[in-house]
Amino acid sequence: MSDTNPTSTSQEKEPAQPGPRADLQHVDSPYFPHHLLGAEQAEVDKLVTWVEEYLVPTFVYAVRQDQPWCPQWIEHDDAVTFLHAAFRAFQDQINTEGRSGLTGPSTWLHHHLLPTLKYLRDPQGPFKRCARSTSKVEHQLPEQAPAAAE
């Protein structure tokens, strides 16, 4: 007696794999639900709250020329991209009872937060022309690349 099903064929289709969850996508991702009214603004609002109420008070200190910070970070596209990625990783890694376990917070600190802050606060990074100290703020966006000659 055989265990195989005589009605099955070798060409049966596998169940369709679900696509990426839109609510877990980075705002720059093509899978982010830009079509949903207010979805992008809601995500940006969460990011602003997280940066302003948690990240800056906890990790951004000693603003000086060799470690700049821009209070108008939201106007720097690359800063928003890096901070949003760190925010998403924070949401995933910080729950010690989730899949990240007890090492999740350490993973977030060392693999996400520290490289993000190193990039953003580098003297040649995106804030190099902005805040030089807590008392001297000169917000300036990077110069735009010249348009290609046609």
Q: How many CA atoms lie within 13 A of 13 on its CB side?
A: 3
What whole-number distance in Å separates Cα of residue 1 and Cα of residue 99? Answer: 43
Percent of the chain with pLDDT over 90: 33
Residue 131: is its pLDDT beyond 60? yes
Structure tokens at 90: 């924070």
pLDDT of residue 83: 93
pTM score: 0.67
At 66-124, the pLDDT tens digits run 899 999 999 888 898 899 999 989 988 888 787 888 899 999 999 999 999 999 999 99
15-69 pLDDT, tens digit each: 555 454 444 455 556 555 555 566 677 888 899 999 999 999 999 988 888 899 9
What ranges do the domains of the chain cover? 60-140
